[in-house]
Amino acid sequence: MNKPLIEKLKEQLSNDTRIENDEKTIEKYLRGTEGLNIFSSKKRTLVAVVKACCDEDVKSIIDLANRYAKDDVLCFSLYPVSTGNNWGYGTSQPASLNNNIILLDLSGLNKILDFDPELGLVTLEPGVTQQQLSEYLIANNYNYMVPVTGAGPECSILANALERGYGITPYTEHFAATTAIQGYWADGTQYQSAVYLLDKSIDKFVDKTFKWGVGPYLEGLFSQSSYGIATRMTIRLAKRKSAFTSFFVQIQEDSLLEQAIPLIREVLQRYEGIVGSINLMDKRRILSMFAQNPNGNGSHSVMQANDVDKISKQLQVPAWTIVGTIYGSKAVVKTVKSEVNAIFKQIPSKRIYSDSAIIRIANMVISSLPASLISIIPTLGRVKEQLSSFNLGEEIMLGKPNKVALKLAYWRNPNADKVEQAVMHPSNDGCGLLWYAPLITMKAATMREYVNFIREICPKHNIEPFITFTNLKHDCVDSTIPIVFDLSNPDAVKDAHNCLKELVNKGLKKGYVPYRLNIDQQQWLLDSQNNFWQTANKLKKTLDPNNILSPQRYNPQ
C-alpha cells in the first residue's frame, strides 16, 4: 500500500469522495469477464479506488497526478470508469499493467443535469445509468426513449457513447447521438466547446443542439482514447412514436442468407428513419437466448448438430431470424408493415409482428393460466418463457432497459442456474466473455464468407459460433460474436483467447476489422509505428504530457 499517496489524496479531495484500498474492493474492480490474467505473468494491480463525489474532485485528482508525476513515491496514473461494466472489453480493469494506478470511479457523479422536453436533449453525468434515465423519463411523463443496449440497466449512458457502443433504438450509434461534451484534458485544462465559449447568452443552450461545433472537432478526442475525462455529455434522445411494431422474419433454410441480405438493405434504404436498425441472427444465437445449454452450463464443447436440430424444432427456431422495428404514426406503421411484409415475402419465410393478434392472444392466454398448470406442463412453461423473453426484447426496442440479453453471458457459467435475471451481473457472477466485433461489408457474398469463417474457427477452439449482424446503416454492418466460456476452467480461458486471436488475425486478412477492442488487444493488435498511431501519440503527448491518464488505452506503446 502506498500510504503517503493515500494520505495526500485524503488531504486534497473532498470528504465525500471515498478512497478505498482494501483488498475486497480492489479485487472487485480487477474482476473481469475476459480472463486476461491467463497469459501474463504480471497481474493487474491498483493502489486504490477513488469514488469521486463531484466534478471538482475530478479536476483535483488530475492536477495531483500531474503534480506528482516526477515524484518516485507519489507518482500515479488514473484510470476513469463510469459504471465499469465494460464486459467483454475489459470490464473495470485498467488497460495498463503498471503498479501505481488509481482507478477513478465516476459512478457517484450521477446527476441528470438538464432535460429539454421540447427537443429531447438530455445532459447527464458519467454515472447516470440506463435505468436511472428510464425512471426519470417515466416519472416526468417525457415521451422519449433511453438509448438502451443489451448490457442493460446498470450501464452508463455516457461511457457507452464514449466507447462508440450501439443499440437497437432509432438512434442506434450512441456517439453519433452525442451533441456536446464537457470535461478535462489529462493536463488539467478544462474542455468546453468553441460554440459554448462563443455563446454569450445566459443558458448557452445552442451548443447542445449541434454536434460538430466550430473549428476542429475536439470532442471526438474523448471517445475510444486516453486524452481526457468527460464529466458531462448531452445526448439526443429519440421520441417515442404513437405506433410501433417489431418484425421477426424467420427463414428456415440457411442457404437463403444470400437472398435475405439484399432485402434487409432494401428495407433500410426505403424506410430510413421509420425502420430502426435490423439484427440478423443465426439459429445457435437465438438458442442462447431461449434454450438451456444441452451440454450443461459448465461444459466446454459446442452443441452437436443433432442437439441443435432437436432443440430448434422444439422451440421452432429457424436457420436465420431477422429482427427489426417500425416506428411512426399508426397509419405509417400500418403501411410500412405491409410493404416490409411484401419485401420479405419474396423469399420463403414466416413473418411475425409484435402487434399481431397471435402474439396478443398468446400473451393473454398465458397470463390467465394458473402458475400451477404452467409448472406441470413443460410445453406451456417453454411458451411462457419464450413469450417473456419476446416481450422483454420488445421493451428494449422501445427504449426501456432490462437484463434479458445478459443471459447470453451465462451460457457456460456453471452457476448460471443459481442466478436470477433481476440480479444478473456478468463479472460479479464469474461469467467468461470476450467479444469479436468486426465491421463487415454489407454484401451477400462477403457476409456468407464471414459466416463460414466463424463456423469454421470457433468450434475448433470449442467456442459456440453465435452469429449476430447488426445494421448500423444500410451500408454498414457490425457483427458481434460473443466468445462465451467457463471462466473457472483454465483450458476454456486459453481456448477463448486463442479463438479470438485466430479470428482477429485471419479476419483482418479478409477485411473484417473490429470496431472496438478489448484492453489486451489494444496493445498487441495496434501498430504503434504506423502513421495513425504515431499521430495519435503526438496528440497524447500534447494533451497528457506526463502520461497520467489511462496509459495504454487505445495507445499502443
Ligand X SMILES: Cc1cc2nc3c(=O)[nH]c(=O)nc-3n(C[C@H](O)[C@H](O)[C@H](O)COP(=O)(O)OP(=O)(O)OC[C@H]3O[C@@H](n4cnc5c(N)ncnc54)[C@H](O)[C@@H]3O)c2cc1C
Among candidates 538, 496, 540, 534, which has minimal Cα distance to 518?
496
* Cα gap 286→456, rounded to integer Å: 19
**Nearer CB in complex with ligand X: 87/353:** 87
User: Does residue 406 touch ligand X according to CB under 6 A?
Assistant: yes
Dihedral sign for Cα 532, 533, 534, 536, please.
Answer: positive
- How far is 182 from 125, CA to CA, in rounded Å? 10
| Binding to ligand X in span 350-389, by CB under 6 A | none
Least CB distance to ligand X at residue 469 (A): 13
- Name residues whose C-beta falls within 8 Å of residue 539's C-beta, 6 or more positions apart in sequence: 221, 227
Per DSSP (E only), the strands in 93-174 are 101-105, 112-116, 121-124
Q: Please tell me whether residue 397 binds ligand X under the rule CB under 6 A.
A: no
Q: Are 245 and 323 in contact (CB under 8 A)?
A: no
Among 550, 551, 552, 555, binds ligand X (CB under 6 A): 550
268 touching ligand X, by CB under 6 A: no
Nearer to ligand X, 61 or 359 (CB): 61
Footprint on residues 212-231 left by ligand X (CB under 6 A): 229-230
Torsion of CA 329, 330, 331, 334, to 10 degrees: 120
Question: Is residue 264 within the footprint of ligand X (CB under 6 A)?
Answer: no
Is 86 among the residues that bind ligand X (CB under 6 A)? yes
Select from 434, 444, 400 the least CA-distant residue to 520.
434
Tell the smallest beta-carbon distance from residue 259 to ligand X (Å): 27
* Of 87, 175, 450, 485, the one binding ligand X by CB under 6 A: 87
412 binds ligand X (CB under 6 A): no
Which of 17, 21, 85, 349 lies at the binding interface for ligand X (CB under 6 A)? 85
Q: Which stretch binds ligand X (CB under 6 A): 64-72, 163-171, 290-298, 496-504?
A: 163-171
The answer to whether the CB of 470 falls within 8 A of the CB of 478 is yes
Q: Choose one: 15-23, 61-69, 404-412, 486-494; the region binding ligand X (CB under 6 A).
A: 404-412
3-state secondary structure of 178: strand
CB of 93 to ligand X, least distance (A): 8
Tell me how far the alpha carbon of residue 167 is from its chain's centroid.
Answer: 8
Assess 49 for contact with ligand X (CB under 6 A). no
Considering only residues 415-434, where is the footprint of ligand X by CB under 6 A? 426, 433
Q: Is 396 in the site for ligand X (CB under 6 A)?
A: no
CB 294 within 8 A of CB 312: no
Buried residues in 168-205 as b, exposed as e (16+ CB within 10 A) = bbbbbbbbebbbbbbbbbbbbeebebebbeeeeeeebb
Residue 515 found at the interface with ligand X (CB under 6 A):
no
Q: Which stretch binds ligand X (CB under 6 A): 148-156, 313-321, 323-331, 363-371?
A: 148-156
Residue of the chain from 65, 103, 137, 155 that contacts ligand X (CB under 6 A): 155
Considering only 45-53, 274-282, 357-365, 400-408, which stretch makes contact with ligand X by CB under 6 A?
400-408
Taking CA 327 as the corner, what is the angle to CA 326 and CA 329, rounded to the nearest 5 degrees? 120
Residue 2's H or E segment, with its range, is none
> Does the protein bind ligand X through residue 438 (CB under 6 A)?
no
Total residues in contact with ligand X, by rule CB under 6 A:
36
Among 30, 52, 101, 151, binds ligand X (CB under 6 A): 151
User: CA torsion, points 484, 489, 494, 495, in degrees to nearest 10?
Assistant: -50
Which grid coordinates are listed for 204?
Answer: 448557452
Candidate ranges 153-161, 371-379, 461-469, 505-513; the one touching ligand X (CB under 6 A): 153-161
Q: Which of 21, 60, 123, 156 binds ligand X (CB under 6 A)?
A: 156
State the residues that interact with ligand X by CB under 6 A: 80-88, 90, 92, 106, 126, 149-151, 155-156, 158-160, 162-163, 165-167, 229-230, 405-406, 408-409, 426, 433, 550, 553
